[in-house]
Amino acid sequence: MLSIEIKTFKQLSTEELYAILQLRSEVFVVEQNCVYQDIDYKDQKALHVLGFKKKKLVAYTRIFKPGDYFENASIGRVVVNENERRFKYGYDIMNASVDAIDYYFRVTAIKISAQEYLRNFYNNLGFKQVGEPYLEDGIPHIAMIRD
């Protein structure tokens, strides 16, 4: 079971920020072999949803209120440590993120830019594809909405 914490950028400790950037780099840059600019100056606007297992960050997302990233509220940088995926923490961190959007922003419509190969994962969480696939940082993505 994950221990979930939700923090603003300013509430993050330097250790937590380092752990977030390390996990995102480990998965998005190294594992997926994708060179891209992860540090995009959007973290300062986001709420950060951290999933800890025995005090170690193993899952993470960042969420945005409507208008800060997309017209709708949004969830991004969804990541789970490779060794922890078998425990289905992706569902835990996404459900916590959806609940946080409802709690903090009082909206239910959420848009994501999902890696296309994860379509079924996001479908299982109530997201539906809108539009055609597109490339983002050289990786096929799809826009998805959850109402």
Span 53-100, pLDDT tens digits: 999 999 999 999 999 999 999 999 999 999 999 999 999 999 999 999
What's the domain count of the chain?
Answer: 1
- According to the model, what pLDDT value does residue 37 have? 81
The stretch 120-131 carries a mean pLDDT of 97
In whole numbers, what is the pLDDT of the chain averaged over residues? 95
The answer to whether residue 144 scores a pLDDT higher than 90 is yes
8 Å CB contact between 21 and 70:
no
Check whether 33 has a pLDDT greater than 90: no
Domain presence at residue 141: no
Residue 49 covered by a domain: yes
Domain that holds residue 103: 3-107
pTM of the model: 0.94
Contacts with 127 (C-beta within 8 Å, 6 or more apart), sequence order: 110, 112, 114, 144, 145, 146
pLDDT score for 34: 81
Per-residue pLDDT band for 138 (boundaries 50, 70, 90) equals: confident
pLDDT the model gives residue 86: 96
pLDDT digits (tens, 9 = 90+) for 94-109: 999 999 999 999 999 9
* CATH number of the structural domain spanning residue 101: 3.40.630.30
